Structure 1
Amino acid sequence: MQLSFLTPLYERPGPWGSVHLDTGWENESTTARRELQARDVCESLARQGADDATGRAVYEALMSRPGPTRGAGRAVFATAGQVVLDPPLATRPPAPVDVKWSALPHVSPLLDLAAREPVCLVAYIDRTGADLEVRTPLGSRAAGEAHGKDWPIHRTGRDDWSERHFQQSVENTWEENAGEVAAAIAACNEDVGADLVVLVGDPRMRRAVHDKLPRPLRGRAVESEHGGRAEGATTRLLDEELENARHEHVRHRAEEELDRFRSAHDAKAEGVPALVEAAREHRIAELLVRPDGPETHREVWVGHEPDQLAVRRAETQYLGDTQPASARADDALLRSAVVTGAEAQSLPPADGGDDVPVGGLGALLRWPYSEMERP
């Protein structure tokens, strides 16, 4: 998961109000219930020590939309009387309301709730071209078209010499058009950075387009038997298949990253003390977080800068701050990851006692420990 959208949260000192809300229940007549929910959120912030101005800003943000909120939930991050980030959630939170007032924004739930779902580039293909669509957790949008030749594209049933020549021309047109579609998909992907490419429509053209995609895209492409380019084509089964493909992609990506971690040897770190050291040295390339891990909420100490972390408050030589603040380990490490351009990956709950990474927190490093030890 790319974390750059969280950058605004680390350009201000805090403390922060962090709110994660389930809005999947909303409809056109929810104003009264929403107001009650907003008041409960602000009262919870006040009890935890939030200032009145920040509480009012959160209240106004929660009440600012007259209709139902798009998406399954909302996250609101506010400090010093201002809402800094208000992203929709793609997945309903496990609790109806989660409110925290803390030194750092509580962003770790976003690994599972926000942009975790992959971006899909869908190509609706026929023998003359394709319509392209981008689907994200926030909705879908048209992404252009591919236009090939519209003649000759239909074969006949005759079997004399002239017809065999014509049918070869038809085959050539299909091949050329498949190349045009593949090129359009590749060009569109340059802009959208799709995690998954889904080819829909004519079976022969789907296969031809798949074979002509650039090799990196080919490995991310799947074909669907449902849906098509024709106007009015049913999409229900396609939507279900896309949802399954997304979930399978997320699961497969998490397994791949976990396998990379297991085989990384001295180019990895796990456990809070080792990760804190790696974060201080800006060495985290990808942070791995198992949400149910016992050390995700372990207390660490932080200063104003992302590399000012320590396991104990007494380690002032690392904190560079006379008044360090207590923070959750996952939130402190995610701050470091965001500011240093690292990525993050949420892992599925531990199965069968497999505590990898140790305590639920690990990282793939930018360079191994062995390189640090060279003279």
Structure 2
Amino acid sequence: MQLDWLKPLVDLEGPFACATLDASNIDPTSRSHRLASWGSARRDLERSGADDATLDALDAALMGDANGVGERTHVACASNGSLLLDIGIEGRPRREGASFGPVPRLMDVVRGLDGKETYAVVKLDREGADIEVIDPTGALVSATDVTGDHDELRKVAAGGASQRRFQARAEDSWKRNATQVAAELDRLVRRIRPGVVFLEGEDHMTSYLVEQAPGALADRIVRLDTGGRAAGTSEAAEVTARDRELARLRAERDARLIERFGDATGAGSAVEGWDAVQAAIAKAQVAHVLLHPDVWERPDSAATRDGGSNHDEDALLWALAPVGAELSLVAQPFEAKDGIGAILRWNDASTPQA
């Protein structure tokens, strides 16, 4: 994960008050749960020394309109009376809670977003397509309706040469409409750069579109067999199919990253273990940090921090942001001391060997 979203906070003066709430919007009891959770978190922050202006900034963010429907996580962070971060993420939080201190507790955001990416959904039929772009939080970025201007859409059983002529005209219209959809998608890919373009619809129409897709678009297309624009298409089946493909793509990403870490280790361009990684971060050597599931899947890292350990994921995140390094929560186990490794931009004689 790129940490550009965190850079604007790094130069700000703390302390920082952050809260993570279950903001699921499922039934009439959802809001009362959110109110109770925030009430408890606010009292914790007050006892920790957070000022009223900062708490009021969090209150305005966390108690506003529900951030989406379904299972949601809401993370907000404020300092000195100003709201600094306000983000809703798909899925329930691993834990709810609040923190107040010199480093904002934002690993909950990373846990919610790591492995996710912006993607497009294209529901295609003979007339055109409905195109939606979804960002990593699950929010709708854009929605476009592309309707082709070629309307000879149906094959007609007229018989003889007439039938062949009508069929050819219909197929030509379908191809031209698919070409228009491909052109719009190409513009969208260049502008928004979604990581995946999910293509749903009739086989011949999706084939026409793939044939017309320029390279940057073609490389992102994943075809699904979930119906597209057709009436009665199961939304649940569509979501399941997309989630399955996103999980597969994440697994492929993790496998490539683990292999890259192994190659870098062999070449002396990687370090492992908390002390070595932190030393490399301090020298701005780090290009990419990998965290093992045993580290980032712990149900609560507070006990580790309170116990005096320097294995503090939030502090790690805070240190990585200004050096422009990436962070990945790898879902597959890999060999690394303390469950943490880093691929380096450069190394020298002072760099400890992994």
TM-score by length of 1: 0.76
Structure 2: distance between partners of 1:175 and 1:26? 42
One-letter identity of the residue aligned with 2:205: M
Shift of 1:116: 4.4
One-letter identity of the residue aligned with 1:331: D
Structure 1: distance between partners of 2:156 and 2:172? 15
> 1:229 matched to which residue of 2?
229
1:338 to 311, 321, 327: 321
Between the aligned residues of both structures, percent identity stands at 24
> 2:345 matched to which residue of 1?
366
Asked whether the equivalents of residues 269 and 344 of structure 2 are also in contact (C-alpha less than 8 Å), the reply is yes
Deviates more, 1:11-20 or 1:265-274: 265-274
Shift of 1:203: 0.9
Structure 1 runs not aligned, ≥5 long: 300-325
Asked whether the equivalents of residues 57 and 78 of structure 1 are also in contact (C-alpha less than 8 Å), the reply is no
> 1:293 matched to which residue of 2?
295
Residues 42 and 155 of structure 1, relative CA distance in 2, 3 Å threshold: closer
Query: What pairs with 1:1-375 in structure 2 (closer than 5 Å)?
Result: 1-24=1-24, 27-29=27-29, 33-47=33-47, 49-53=48-52, 56-57=55-56, 60-61=59-60, 64-65=63-64, 70=69, 72-95=72-95, 97-114=96-113, 116-136=115-135, 137-140=137-140, 142-157=142-157, 160=160, 163-164=163-164, 167-230=167-230, 233-264=233-264, 265-293=267-295, 329-348=312-331, 350=333, 354=334, 356-367=335-346
Asked whether the equivalents of residues 290 and 349 of structure 1 are also in contact (C-alpha less than 8 Å), the reply is yes
Shift of 1:67: 5.5
CA RMSD of aligned residues (A): 3.4
Higher normalized helix content (fraction of residues): 2
Structure 2 runs not aligned, ≥5 long: none
Residues 193 and 113 of structure 1, relative CA distance in 2, 3 Å threshold: same
Residues 191 and 328 of structure 1, relative CA distance in 2, 3 Å threshold: farther
Q: Deviations over 1:114-136 (max 9, x none)?
A: 46433220111122322211123
Structure 1: distance between partners of 2:329 and 2:252? 12
Structure 1: distance between partners of 2:163 and 2:31? 69
One-letter identity of the residue aligned with 2:128: G
What count of residue pairs does the alignment treat as equivalent? Answer: 339
Q: Deviations over 1:335-370 (max 9, x none)?
A: 2432233332211163xxx4x333222223334559
Deviates more, 1:159-168 or 1:116-125: 159-168
Structure 1: distance between partners of 2:12 and 2:314? 15
Structure 2: distance between partners of 1:328 and 1:53? 31
Shift of 1:12: 1.0
Shift of 1:111: 1.8
Residues 18 and 232 of structure 1, relative CA distance in 2, 3 Å threshold: same
Shift of 1:106: 1.6
Residues 68 and 142 of structure 1, relative CA distance in 2, 3 Å threshold: closer
